[in-house]
Amino acid sequence: MSFLRPLPARALLAAALCACAPAEAPSRSTTPHANLIATAPPADPFAEHEASARSPIDAPVARHPPPTLIRHATVLTAAGKRYEPGFVLLKYGSIAAVGAGDGPSTPEGTVVVDAKGQFVTPGIIDPHSHIGVYPVPKTVAHDDGNELIDPLTASARAEDSFWPQDPAIERAVAGGVTTIGVLPGSGNLIGGRGVVLHLVPERGARAMRFPGAPEILKMACGENPKRTYREQKRAPASRMGNLRLLRDAFVKAQKYVRDWETWTKKQRAQAAGKESAPPTQASARPGSDGDSKPPDRDLALETLALVLRGDILVEWHCYQADDMLAALAVADEFGFKVRAFHHALEAYKIRDVLARRGIAVATWDDWWGFKMEAYDGIPENAALLTEAGARAAMHSDSPVAIQILNQAASKALVAGRAAGVKLDEDDAIRWLTANAAWVLGIEDQVGTLEVGKRADVVVWNRHPLSTYARAMRVYIDGRLVFDANQPEPPWSDFELGIRRP
């Protein structure tokens, strides 16, 4: 009866990975797409499928903004250093130099920005946004954030719902935000894939894709899924129902992995046999071709299979400490990692567990109380997590809050300090940038002002942790996308003829 006992997930996946991934494959955490598309061997069926779903139609266009030197500013690097006065040199879309003093002498053609009295930070990253999938104005036609026909819709993609004309995009940029993680809503246990976008005016989400960002999956526990489907007189109707359906889904995903693995092995064995020996009577027999028919493709299970393999980052909406612990039990059972809990208002209660496991928390400063699972939120959440050695990030989940995320970090910093947590300004900036980048798996590319990182940079008129601070200039990949002193026609086609200067 040993065949009935499920294989330990890790062993199974290790076998699957050994079978198809080359040893020299680049680290997934830095260049996941390269892994999935460019270097994955054709023998990995999931990678092939991923690649085929990534049509290059309307891909990001490389631009060549002039080199820009921002100087005489206070530079907050989010990497432990503060330069006052300092400079940042943006060149070829990257940060070419950053440091104290006036900066290097600049060749002709360099735009020099005198930012005396102003502050420079990395672009803010909001790891939890529904901009574009729940756009403004609220309309029935654009209510595209939740696929509430089934609690498990892993194959849905936020990218396919994203409305690039959402007027909230430009307003987020005016708040100093350069990158967002757009997620499906939380009505489903597995809502579907999110997408990491650069906030640039484009015709579609594909052109806004953050280059090289990993795939992310939105999951949800607690009240939302069970309430949504209970109202429909369907499962899940309870927390245990949530977990039951989730386990069932991952059991199916395990079988899916096994089926493909078996088929792949057979294919290889057959190929090897054909090469080494002339066809035998048996293999030439009609009917044996049945074995070469691949298992049916299931895009939802394929997504979960990639989660099991660690190729998709799990972004899990969870409020209560006990719900997060239950979620982690499922993750352990099936051998996958949770990248971050989102909202996680009770994360402070289990901060030791989260720190030990390296799980990040994307949360608010003090948005709480609106439902039972949000009742125990406290403003010191991010501070206590940071103190415990866990990664905390600020998120908005709102087109209003995204405009003042800098104030959120400031409030969380003040609350933490009042509670006796030792925090500095750099910690608060990191909540907005470096840690938020880690939540989305793009920490090697953005989140700090360091040489070689993407030139996603904000110039503020005063200290960004002040209530009165405004983003004056916002750069994405070295390109000036927002200038508070140069009002331009609205980005959104929708607002043409409506918005006034």
Partner 1 sequence: MRAPARCIGLAIALGSTAIPARAEPPAPVVIEHAKVYLPGDRAPLEDGTVVLAGGAILSVGAAGAIPAGARTLDARGKVVTAGLIDADCDVGVVDVEHEPQANDTDVREALTPALRMADAYNPLSVLVPVARSGGVTSAVVAPRRGLLGGRSLFANLAGESASEAVVRPALAQYAHLDEESGQAATGTRGAMWLVIREALEDARFYATHKPQYDANGARQLSLHRAGLEALLPVVRGEEPLVIEAHRASDIETALLLADEFRLRLVLSGASEAWMVAGEIARRKVPVIVDPLEDLPERFDRLHARPDNAALLSRNGVSVIIATFSAYGVRLLWQHAGNAVRMGLDHDAALRAITEAPADAFGLRGYGRIEPAAVGNVVVWSGDPFLTSTQVEHVFVRGREQPLQTRQTLLLQRYRNLPVERAAAR
Chain residues that interact with partner 1, rule: CB under 8 A: 136-139, 167-168, 171, 223, 348-349, 351-352, 366-372, 375-380, 384, 388, 399-400, 403-404, 407, 410-411, 413-414, 418-420, 465-470, 495, 498-500
Of the candidates 380, 327, 383, the residue with the CA atom closest to the CA atom of residue 353: 327
Min separation Cβ 313 and partner 1, Å: 27
Nearer to partner 1, 40 or 385 (CB): 385
Nearer to partner 1, 109 or 137 (CB): 137
Q: Provide the 3-class DSSP secondary structure of residue 151.
A: coil
Cα distances (Å, whole numbers) of residue 253 to 225, 226, 304, 309, 329? 20, 22, 6, 11, 17
Between CA 434 and CA 181 the distance in angstroms is: 14
CA 89 to chain centroid, in Å, comes to 27
- The residues facing 216 across adjacent strands are 194, 313
Judge whether 308 and 254 are in contact, CB under 8 Å. Answer: yes
Judge whether 342 and 395 are in contact, CB under 8 Å. Answer: yes
Min separation Cβ 352 and partner 1, Å: 5
Nearer to partner 1, 314 or 408 (CB): 408
Nearer to partner 1, 25 or 414 (CB): 414
Min separation Cβ 375 and partner 1, Å: 6
What pairing do the DSSP bridges indicate for beta strands 190-198 and 215-220?
A: antiparallel
Min separation Cβ 407 and partner 1, Å: 6
Min separation Cβ 435 and partner 1, Å: 19
Of the candidates 18, 49, 23, 24, the residue with the CA atom closest to the CA atom of residue 36: 49
Min separation Cβ 198 and partner 1, Å: 21
Min separation Cβ 475 and partner 1, Å: 22
Min separation Cβ 494 and partner 1, Å: 8
Nearer to partner 1, 339 or 351 (CB): 351
Of the candidates 219, 255, 243, 191, the residue with the CA atom closest to the CA atom of residue 6: 255
Of the candidates 226, 223, 243, the residue with the CA atom closest to the CA atom of residue 235: 226
Nearer to partner 1, 152 or 220 (CB): 220
Nearer to partner 1, 238 or 467 (CB): 467
Judge whether 163 and 130 are in contact, CB under 8 Å. Answer: no
Between CA 217 and CA 309 the distance in angstroms is: 13
Judge whether 125 and 447 are in contact, CB under 8 Å. Answer: yes
Nearer to partner 1, 3 or 468 (CB): 468
